[in-house]
Amino acid sequence: MNRNQMIHSHFAGFSGINSGTLSRILKGNHPISMAQLIAITAGMELREDYFFEDYIDECFSFVVSMRRIRPFIFRCAELGRLDCIEQIVNRLLEDLSYAPLLFEFAELLYKDDKRHAARILYQGVSEAEKYQHSERLALCQYRIFRIELEEQTDLEEKLRAATQFELYVNRLDAADQLDAMKQLMHIYGLVHKWKRVDELAKEMHRIASVQYELENRRSDTIEGGLKRPERPFYYYILYAYLARATASEACGDYGRALSFVQLYANAERWVHENDEQSRQIIAQFSEWAVANTYLYRLMSGELDVIDEYADYIALHENEIFVAVRYIVQAANVFKLNVDSILDRFAPYIPYELGKTDCGDYKQAILQERYAQFLIDLAIYQFNHSKGKEQALNTVLKGLEISIAMNSSQNIIACMTLFEEYREFADQELQEQFKNLSSEVYQFNAKKDLILLNAL
């Protein structure tokens, strides 16, 4: 105002703030609201967040008021000023009575897809939470876990997040437990910890069965106080059977896998609901049951079902890639020639992203499956008359994807396979392998350095 030779009334009119209010603000007798801060900043023709760091002190210069702090936090989230949010949270949590309110803010930010901002609040509340067995602490950890899964492409980091969160899963409400267990099973499946997948699926079945029975005893679940998970309770019962079948198959126990298939194949016999959603879910699990029955019979050595299996999946495009992957595995085990099937379904490979009627496959799961498929396909190509160069190219593609997601098991498999057939690689292929191997070395060296600094 002095620089532009403005009196109060001029700037008040320019910014839209009442002249008397402006006078009291300048004398330090009136706290600045968030709306007034924005008006003042706009009046000075500065970017909106220009005074945000200064405003943090302003928020605490009078009596702490959530009428100022709440809109400030949410505006910081919209503008990406996470540094300001972190400072506000740290100062507020000097008084732990603010933790419940910050948790409420975090939930609103999370639902509004402001995940980075929400994470700061969840982390602050977690650290401030006195009662280590509280549901609020567990829910904070669950939200942080979900945010990390969305952010991380590194499988080891996903596993670390899962291992850290699992300590809190049994403190959640039953409905949240079911969704959390589903996420945990995804991660443990990605890193081939199938025993843990089976254990979690067994517990999921127990909890979902109890909740579904309670739901059916109430005429109105909301009035009865029964919290709902993301999907209907019967869905988790079916999903638990599916997960246990998958874990059994991964361990080579196809008889056990088939026994679980029978449990999710005919859900209409015991699912009470008959709405569009339930019909859709039951149809999806029935479809999986047919496809997986063919698969487990094939992997058990019933080789005559392979053509029936191929004809069936041809009618279900979303499942083609997964089925072809298993057909190639069977071909390697039983020394089959499946060139005709690979040619038939070539347009569906590579498979970047697929959807089913009951939701979308997670990108990480697809990437890991695709890397595994390329390894199996390379082995198949090495064993047939397609030429070693094509197989080596397939190995390198699998190695590139495995490095991108830091899948240690697949990285080792790809590098071992290339070394086994290195003599067939020309100079260009060897150079590609050298560059990819260097990425693996540099990545591991960086992780070792981070670990050393942490110690």
Q: Output the six-digit token pair for 8.
A: 């109060």
* C-beta of residue 423 within 8 angstroms of C-beta of residue 411: no
- Mean pLDDT throughout 55-65? 86
Q: Output the six-digit token pair for 330.
A: 């069977």
Instruction: Say whether pLDDT at 353 is over 50.
Output: no
Cβ neighbours of 290 (radius 10 Å): 15
Listed in sequence order, the residues at least 6 apart from 3 whose beta carbon sits closer than 8 Å to its beta carbon are none
* C-beta of residue 99 within 8 angstroms of C-beta of residue 128: yes
Flag the least confident range among 80-84, 116-120, 392-396, 439-443.
439-443
The four Cα atoms 239, 242, 246, 249 give a dihedral, to 10 degrees, of 160
Count the alpha carbons within 13 Å of 455 in the hemisphere toward its beta carbon: 6
Helix crossing, 34-43 with 8-15: angle to 10°? 100
Q: Which residues pair with 359 in a beta bridge?
A: 356
Tell which CATH architecture fits domain 31-172. Answer: Alpha Horseshoe (1.25)
Flag the least confident range among 157-161, 217-221, 239-243.
217-221
pLDDT top residue among 1 and 409: 409
Total residue length of the chain:
455
pLDDT band at 387 (very low <50, low <70, confident <90, very high): confident
pLDDT band at 368 (very low <50, low <70, confident <90, very high): confident
136-170 core/surface letters (b: 16 or more CB in 10 A; e: else): bbbbbbbbbbbbbbeebebbeebbebbeebbebbe
Supply φ then ψ for residue 360, to 5 degrees: -100, 145
Q: Output the six-digit token pair for 56.
A: 């943090």
Return the pLDDT at 226.
66
Q: In whole angstroms, give the CA distance from residue 194 to residue 152.
A: 22
* C-beta of residue 142 within 8 angstroms of C-beta of residue 161: no
Count the alpha carbons within 13 Å of 308 in the hemisphere toward its beta carbon: 12
Stated pTM of the model: 0.85
Return the pLDDT at 9.
81
Q: In whole angstroms, give the CA distance from residue 231 to residue 278.
A: 10
The percentage of residues in the chain with a pLDDT greater than 90, rounded to a whole number, is: 68
Instruction: Say whether pLDDT at 222 is over 60.
Output: no
